[in-house]
A and B are shown apart, each in its own frame.
Chain A
Amino acid sequence: MVRKMLGAVFVLLALLATPASAASPLTNVSQQLICQCGCNMTVANCTHQDCMSAPAMRTLIQQKLDQGLSEEQVVQYFVTEYGEQVLASPPKKGLNLVAWILPFAVIIAGAIIVYLALKKWVFQGRTSQVEVKTEAEEDDEKYRLRLEQELKQFGERGYR
């Protein structure tokens, strides 16, 4: 349960926390768009010397911003001009949601499987184990003993 909730919190965080940076609107927009010189980098990051695309795109972004368009509108302008592939990451809608959500869905599904497997193993362990050691309160003395034992076992049986 705790794990599921944790998972849900992470999904939420991932979807909400689009890092807001203190950078200029030009930088913000150019970080969202992919340079078209074939470098696979964002317009902000392309440093190819012979790149014909990034400087032109930067100028265009600045022009559009100067015309009074908002950052989102400028990004939208580029999407209509170049198609969706100009975006550095797929917009969170339609089929693209699969890419955004599937990793977390897989992890949550995996967590459930892990939880069930653990439960099964613990159950088997309890039934097969004659004596189950409990460590209700582990004070320093017990910690010392446990550590000593673990280190000793390491020496005897190798590799812990």
Chain B
Amino acid sequence: MADIGYIALLLALVASLYSATAFVFGKRRNIPALVDSARNGVVAVCGLVSIAVLALLYAILTHDFQIEYVASYTARDMSLTYLLSAIWAGNDGSLLFWAWLLALFGMIVVLQRRDVGRELVPYASTIVMVTEVFFLFLLLSVANPFHKLSFLPADGRGLNPLLENPGMLFHPPNLLGGYVGFTIPFAFAMSALLTRRLGDEWIVSIRRWTLVSWLLLSIGNIIGAWWAYVELGWGGYWAWDPVENASLLPWLTGTAFLHSIMMQRRRGILKKWNMVLVIITFSLSIFGTFLTRSGILSSVHTFADTTLGPFFLVFIGVTLFSSLGLLYYRSELLNSEAEMESLVSRESTFLMNNLFLVGAAFAVFLGEIFPLISEAVRGVKITVGAPFYNQVNGPIFLAIIFLAGVCALIGWRRSSVSNLMRNFLWPLAIALVIGSALIILGVRQPYAVFAFTVCAFVLTTILYEWFRGTRARRRMRGDNYLKAFFGLLGANRPRYGGYTVHIGLVLIAIGVIGSSFYNVEKEATLLPGESMSIKNYTLTYENKDTFQTETRQVDSATLSVFNGGKLLGKIVPSKYYSVSYEQSVTEVAIRSTPAEDLYAILIGWDDAGATSFKILVNPLVSWIWIGGIVLVLGGLIAFWPERRKLPVEIRVEARETVGSVSNKKSGNGINKVRSSSEARRG
């Protein structure tokens, strides 16, 4: 099986090299047959890499421990789902998964039915295939998932116990999917530069690719935060760990890109900026993969050390150098059409949003590399940790969220200040009332009050905008409110999906503010029957339990939770020792309500029965997960395809008016559209 996988990868390498070259030659010499053949090559690559993935899965499921990867990350006693997730549990497997996703995306690109940007596909596919070649090369040389051991182990090592969490089934593939996805916008951008087709075409072609990559990256990050919260057991969800930062960076620049391409569409500005953003986002995605997988930084994510580092650095260097160089050579073709009517317009908020998002990305990046700078300049080693990122990025993020509110109130093109004041009045008044209410309720930290007020403001503006739209539509069409509301959503899904994403972000922000300013923690050592109190909770230590499962030795402690004398329930934090991994793992117990989480960690115990606990009360953490769900929902609304009858109609009309002129060409186009729509139906 291993040989089949390896050979499939080898053939995929040949096929992707062929496709990459054939696209260029076919396009330059104008040989359609060659382009078609290159297209088939992309499909073949996808098929071959799929065979390799299936071969690895087969080896995992049949416990073929002769293969080093299988022996390192799986064991006989693992459940089916975790066995499947072993594909991305380790280094080599996750690179194979990367290559597979890229091949899949590349195939979708060549097979996709498109009304615009068809001319861009060949060169874009070349870029995708070149990237594919890089990953296949890694898989065949330094990161071979099919590497065989010289002996046959009786059992594998199993999955790292920290990764045995449902979150781990979804966090890595989503994150990797996001990383991989940004290859497509990058490829189209490069293709636009190469072919000098620098109009809206490439932007229209990649909007939904960008959106889906962004969405995958968001889901990956949110699930990662949730995993950290429930599994790592330190009570937080985001540690500003270098690898977390690495996934935040392309998310930030990708978010900026999603917004700035709208500016190019609407106003013909920011053409160069969009190119720069997509180049940076793609490079940061590769950088993210590199940091996660290179093992140069120690963190919870580094599950292997390999020699991948130099390869990645060279690839990123070549990418940046050649793409920025190409941009430089084409820069004259990218001048702004530049038509703006007013400084006070929604466009301005978009520009500011870009500025803050990229500023935030810069701050995170600076934090990452500053230890190196300090050591080089002063010769002093320093650490840049969570307090730095919180204090520097906190205000920037707040400004970004504030802009989301302002944006909803300002019209496109042009707004007058008096109009703005009028729109601001109600949301601002409501936000101030909420702010004052918070102060009365006992929220006294100035920064928290300010931040909560901003969140209230933004939430109000968005809801107000929805309300106004619904009301206007109701009056216009005589629908009832519900119908009017959904009609509004359906009429412009990207816009209202975007607003939904903003609401999700505000909810996340509320959760983050609440849990970082008002968390309380307490440590106590209790004998059975003794109690401790934290905030308004009283916890009574009932008993400790020790039991053995097949692979673990578990110690759990039961605590009864009281609030004002009323029993709320029991929580059971535990600790177990994983036999196969020779590692002990803390399993926290969380009692979650919308207002706050009670978070219990079992620290240790002595022979006399005294048991130590660390108890935290984290306010509003559930809002983060709810906000995450809302965000994903909004992303899906924005992503959901429009009904596609329009382009065909336009083309049919065009043919009717044009008549027999250039019949051949337009006829071809229609046939293509028809045949693929039929294929879709079938």
Residues of chain A having any CB pair with chain B under 8 Å: 3, 6, 10-11, 13-15, 17-24, 27, 31-32, 34, 38-42, 44-47, 49-50, 83-90, 94-96, 98-100, 102-104, 106-107, 110-111, 114, 117-122, 124-126, 128-129, 132-138, 140, 143-144, 146-148, 150-151, 154-155, 158-160
Contacts and interface: CB of A to CB of B under 8 A. Distances in A.
B416 A134 contact: yes
Interface stretch (B318-326, B349-357, B424-432): B349-357
Contacts of B262: 160
Given A90-B383, A106-B362, A20 B445 contact: yes
Given A99-B366, A146-B411, A84 B381 contact: yes
Contacts of A100: 388, 392
Interface stretch (B35-43, B178-186, B231-239, B541-549): B231-239
Q: Is the interface of B mostly helix, strand, loop or mixed?
A: helix
B395 A138 contact: no
Contact of A86 (B235, B383, B419): B383
Contact of B204 (A15, A84, A98, A158): A158
A120 to B, nearest CB: 7
Interface stretch (B66-74, B75-83, B120-128, B491-499): B491-499
Interface string B378-406: 10111111111011101110110000000
Contact of B586 (A13, A23, A47, A140): A47
A18 B395 CA distance: 12
A69 B359 CA distance: 39
Given A39-B299, A102-B366, A106-B359, 19 more contacts: A10-B395, A21-B519, A40-B241, A40-B297, A41-B234, A41-B239, A42-B386, A44-B234, A47-B233, A49-B583, A49-B585, A83-B380, A90-B384, A121-B340, A135-B411, A136-B418, A137-B418, A160-B494, A160-B495
Contacts of A14: 391-392, 394-395
B363 interface: yes
A102 B392 CA distance: 10
B132 to A, nearest CB: 29
Given A42-B385, A88-B386, A160-B266, A10 B399 contact: yes
Given A49-B586, A122-B340, A140-B472, A83 B239 contact: no
Contact of A47 (B232, B298, B473): B232
Contacts of B27: none
Interface in B466-498: 468-469, 471-473, 475-476, 491-492, 494-495
Contact of A160 (B299, B370, B380, B492): B492
Which of A20, A27, A49 has most B Cβ within 10 Å? A49
Contacts of B500: none
Contacts of B378: 94-95
Interface of B: 204, 207, 232-236, 239, 241-242, 262, 265-267, 269, 297-299, 336, 338-343, 348, 351-352, 355-356, 358-360, 362-363, 366-367, 370-371, 373-374, 377-378, 380-388, 390-392, 394-396, 398-399, 411-416, 418-419, 422-423, 445-447, 450, 468-469, 471-473, 475-476, 491-492, 494-495, 516-522, 583-586, 601, 642, 646
Contact of B352 (A32, A111, A122): A111
B469 A159 contact: no
A118 B414 contact: no
Contact of B341 (A42, A83, A99, A132): A132
A125 B517 contact: no
Contacts of A39: 298-299
A114 B355 contact: yes
